[in-house]
């Protein structure tokens, strides 16, 4: 599977899934709930979200384990549930893939078999791993962070992920540490994605001041098979991906938010509709992105639109 996957990301566009939390909130997830606990408390809800993205055409499905590291779960007093959250997170994806295949891989609108296949052989499971929630070398040591990343990676690898998604990173040092640790512990491919914002000077930097070019070079040097940006505005990330492309020939991924978040009636909403967000797709591709999905606020409808445009097409050099 590893070789097939690496060949695919080198040769063609792949469609990543979209937001998990947005859809779980619609199913009753509250601000006090840990999304990762739903992997074993409400697995049918998590599975149903994965299934929606599969039906929309996603080829890469991320596990609902973004905050399931020992360090992150310890912040809520939930560290004893780390193993269960990660293992059940993979099970939820596998169950969704099984259901998708058993139903013939039909689109939700009755549009037929996705990519002409009735088997899920072109679907890949990504083990989602987010930041530790602590500042490296300030309130957490490298050794503690390394232990946390390593433990989560082992649980996910043992449960059967195809590769890892180290994502929503704000500090390049932490992202590098995560990539190196995961590669050492599992030998599976790793993607790495960071969050960027525009500075007053008009430059794009992570919260810790890392430039897109430095991130691309250092993360690929650390062993990442693909790098990119997530959890930001698409109009900003077109520029970020363009800068990354100047520093690496590796596949680049981008999965932006559905616009700026706003609080409405006590609920976080996002302003860009799927049809508005997909208007920038050609620019993302021209900048160099070949693995495309959605982050906060995005929906299966957006993934369906992306899939209809890029799925199965050959990657640009």
pLDDT at position 121? 60
What the block records as the tokens of 106 is 């039909």
Query: Are the C-beta atoms of 289 and 252 separated by less than 8 Å?
Result: yes
Q: Which DSSP string do the residues of 142-191 spell out, in sequence order?
A: HHHHHHHHHHHHHHHHHHT-SEEEEEEES-HHHHHHHHHHHHHHH---EE
Q: Of the candidates 245, 253, 252, 309, which has an alpha carbon nearest to the alpha carbon of residue 279?
A: 309
Q: Do residues 200 and 246 lie in contact, with contact meaning Cβ atoms separated by under 8 Å? A: no
- Rounded Cα distance, 46 and 62, in Å: 11
Q: In this predicted structure, what is the pLDDT of residue 265?
A: 74
The per-residue pLDDT for 25 is: 92
pTM of the model: 0.93
CB contact at 8 A, 228 and 291: yes
Q: Could you state, in chain order, the average pLDDT of each consecutive group of 10 residues for the chain (317 residues)?
A: 77 97 93 95 98 97 98 96 98 96 61 38 92 94 98 98 98 98 96 97 97 98 98 98 98 96 80 96 98 98 97 82
41, HSE (Cβ side, Cα atoms, 13 Å)? 11
Token code pair at residue 82: 């780390």
Which domains occur in the chain, in start order? Answer: 2-310 (3.20.20.330)
DSSP code at position 259: S
Alpha helical stretches, state H, the chain: 2-11, 21-26, 38-41, 43-56, 70-74, 82-102, 142-159, 172-186, 212-222, 234-245, 274-277, 281-287, 300-310
CB 69 within 8 A of CB 54: no
Q: What is the DSSP letter of 106?
A: B
Going 49 to 51 to 57 to 61, the CA torsion angle's sign is positive
Closest CA to 280 of 256, 245, 246, 298: 256
Q: Which 3 state secondary structure label does DSSP give 13?
A: coil
* Strand-pair partners of 166: 129, 192
């Amino acid at each position: 599977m590893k070789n097939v996957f690496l060949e695919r990301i080198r040769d063609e566009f792949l469609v990543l899934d979209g937001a998990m939390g947005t859809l779980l909130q619609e199913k009753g997830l509250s601000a006090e709930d840990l999304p990762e606990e739903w992997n074993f408390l409400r697995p049918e809800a998590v599975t149903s979200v994965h299934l929606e993205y599969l039906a929309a055409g996603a080829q890469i499905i991320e596990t609902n384990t973004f905050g399931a590291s020992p360090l992150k779960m310890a912040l809520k007093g939930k560290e004893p549930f780390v193993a269960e959250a990660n293992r059940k997170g993979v099970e939820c994806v596998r169950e969704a893939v099984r259901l998708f295949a058993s139903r013939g891989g039909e689109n939700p609108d009755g549009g037929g078999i996705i990519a002409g296949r009735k088997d899920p052989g072109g679907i890949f499971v990504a083990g989602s791993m987010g930041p530790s929630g602590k500042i490296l070398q300030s309130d957490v040591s490298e050794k503690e962070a390394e232990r946390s990343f390593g433990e989560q990676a082992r649980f996910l690898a043992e449960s059967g992920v195809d590769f890892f998604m180290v994502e929503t990173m704000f500090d390049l040092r932490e992202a590098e540490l995560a990539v190196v640790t995961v590669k050492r512990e599992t030998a599976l491919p790793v993607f790495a994605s960071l969050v960027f914002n525009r500075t007053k000077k008009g430059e794009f930097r992570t919260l810790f001041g890392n430039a897109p070019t430095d991130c691309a070079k250092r993360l690929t040097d650390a062993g990442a098979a693909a790098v990119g940006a997530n959890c930001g505005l698409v109009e900003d990330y077109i520029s970020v991906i363009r800068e990354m492309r100047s520093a690496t020939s590796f596949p680049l991924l981008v999965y932006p938010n559905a616009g700026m978040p706003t609080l409405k009636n006590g609920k976080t909403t996002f302003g860009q509709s799927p049809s508005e967000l997909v208007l920038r797709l050609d620019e993302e591709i021209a900048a160099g992105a070949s693995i495309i999905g959605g982050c906060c606020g995005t929906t299966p409808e957006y993934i369906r639109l992306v899939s209809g445009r890029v799925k199965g097409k050959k990657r640009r050099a």
